[in-house]
Structure 1
Amino acid sequence: MDDRTYRRFTAELVAWAEANPAVIGLVALGSMARAGRDPDEWSDHDFWVVAETGAAPTIRDDPTWLPDHERIVLFNAETEHGRNVIYDDGHLIEQAVFEPSEVSITRANDYRVMVDKGGIADQMAAIAQATAEESAGRNRAVSFGRFASQLVIGLTRYGRGEELSADAMIKHHALGNLLGLLGRGHAGELDSLDPFRRFELARPDLAPPLLEALKGPAPGAATAMLDLAAEHLTDLEPNTPELRTTLRTLIMRVAR
């Protein structure tokens, strides 16, 4: 979606929210918020609607208020409050509709309050602060322990012949913990809610060899990930030579 169309789409959402008496607020998230990062041609529309008590279910499950709704090819109940929408040009909407009492269950980093008919800005400021505190308080040693355990789970599944499950465990779950650890100190470039987002921009020194290794079988990917941990995460107490030797031995065993 080009910038002109993206802005028009956003403006129509804002106009709808302002005109609908059942809507209390509209909050843009991610690149839609334009909070230091503008949307590009690949950006989706990610937003929350806050509606009066009792009105949320109707708004949530009625796509006809969305701009260009006649071009929708998929309207999917992704979560209890969230609906994913795909248009015929591939444009994606990730939306959620909450009642005021439900907003506190959410987490957000980049956001912009587009419509506020009462209290939304204060709620969002509290949510963003709680999200930042949770991110800062994550225990790095615990995350590394999860990374190592997920490598073992993935490798043993690979050894059993469960290659799809092994790939998911190593190349997604373990990788997510590793990226979160390697991304510390680069908070401005990374997404605190998703360690995979923009890692290539934050760590251009680490991303290319890692991406290359991920193209191959799980043991090779595990080796590359372990090499990065050995080089960059030795300050973590659980990251001992004994643990790394154990993991490398397991890699060699399942790769035979």
Structure 2
Amino acid sequence: MATKEQLLRRLDEIGGSLERRGEALLLLGVGSVGVETARIDEYSDLDFFVIVKPGYKQAYIEQLDWLEEVYPLSYTFRNTVDGYKILFEDGIYGEYAVFEEEEMEHVAYSEGRIVWRNPSYANPEITEIAKGGRRTETQRREGLDFPLNEALTNLYVGLCRYARGEKLSAARFVQSYAVDNILSALHLLEKEEAYFPDVFGEERRLEKRYPSFAERVGDMILGYERTPESALHILRYLEEVYPVNARMSKEIRRLAEGL
């Protein structure tokens, strides 16, 4: 864990390391160290992209001395072909990827902040992308019919699996898939409070963005052994916000109450 000042300083120090080497073009902070620094807290970490000159990508992936010279690393895990998850010895955690400029056209990320830029680098297009963010939107639905009927069928299938003893699969269908489908339409069901929405996951900061739903969602996710009870809570919510098919509702209740 680290303070806001420590996180931002570490990112600036990484920029300094890149500058000294002269092989990088841009250091882009994303997530809470991007343009949303106001939400940094003691549980935040470093998320960043490094854009390097042609021919240097593999060197920056295979050799981490450009990070080690900033602060010693105690853990490294190459989680993608482009980058790592890391932990510095002082407890600062980070995730990053290294790209060449031409790859950025196909990279999805939340709005970014230029932390460091090579003075000789003057590509206005990529600077514009970095400031505005090449975003991938979450799967928000434009109507209620599809996601809420999907949620309804998730409940039915999940309870059938629970009945045959497939408790793990049942928990996923009911407590994960059904809830995810509701989240994809939640902006149509409840006023969203303005608090840093995440382009990659509607569940992020749900408690502040949708406080009313947050008061109920705990009853929808009661755990491995309580899938039938969770399903009943989800069904009741669906019935409140949508004209649920009466026969499907009856079948789901019959299954849940008989388990």
TM bin (shorter chain): 0.7 to 0.9
Q: Deviations over 1:195-241 (max 9, x none)?
A: 11000011111212212441341222222223333333x3xxxxx42
Cα separation, partners in 2 of 1:251 and 1:12, compared to 1, 3 Å: farther
Contact 1:183–1:195 (CA<8 Å) still a contact in 2? no
Alignment of 1:39-188 (within 5 A): 39-66=40-67, 69-73=71-75, 75-88=76-89, 90-116=91-117, 117-119=121-123, 120-124=126-130, 127-128=133-134, 131=136, 134-135=137-138, 138-140=141-143, 141-184=145-188, 186=192, 188=194
Amino acid at match of 1:121: T
Aligned residues: 245
Contact 1:29–1:46 (CA<8 Å) still a contact in 2? yes
Cα separation, partners in 2 of 1:9 and 1:63, compared to 1, 3 Å: same
1:33 to partner: Cα distance:
1.3
> What is the aligned-residue identity percentage?
23
Contact 1:24–1:118 (CA<8 Å) still a contact in 2? no
Cα separation, partners in 2 of 1:89 and 1:16, compared to 1, 3 Å: closer
Partner of 1:201: 208
Amino acid at match of 1:221: S
Contact 2:74–2:87 (CA<8 Å) still a contact in 1? yes
Q: Deviations over 1:5-56 (max 9, x none)?
A: 2232122122123333221111111111143633110001011111122211
Alignment of 1:217-232 (within 5 A): 217-232=226-241
Contact 2:47–2:95 (CA<8 Å) still a contact in 1? yes
Amino acid at match of 1:241: V
Unaligned runs of 5+ in 2: none
Larger radius of gyration: 2
Unaligned runs of 5+ in 1: 235-239
1:57 to partner: Cα distance:
1.8
Cα separation, partners in 2 of 1:146 and 1:253, compared to 1, 3 Å: closer
Structure 1 counterpart SS, 2:38? coil
Query: CA RMSD for the aligned pairs?
Result: 2.8
Contact 1:49–1:96 (CA<8 Å) still a contact in 2? yes
CA distance, structure 1, for counterparts of residue 147 and residue 20 of structure 2: 46
Cα separation, partners in 2 of 1:151 and 1:158, compared to 1, 3 Å: same
Scaled by the length of structure 2, what TM-score is found? 0.80
After the TM superposition, which of the residue ranges 18-27 and 177-186 deviates more from structure 2?
Answer: 177-186
Amino acid at match of 1:168: R
After the TM superposition, which of the residue ranges 116-125 and 54-63 deviates more from structure 2?
Answer: 116-125
CA distance, structure 2, for counterparts of residue 12 and residue 36 of structure 1: 17
Amino acid at match of 2:166: E
Contact 1:154–1:166 (CA<8 Å) still a contact in 2? yes
Scaled by the length of structure 1, what TM-score is found? 0.81
Q: Deviations over 1:30-86 (max 9, x none)?
A: 11114363311000101111112221122123333226552422x112222231113
Corresponding position: 1:22 with 2:23? yes
CA distance, structure 1, for counterparts of residue 140 and residue 208 of structure 2: 24
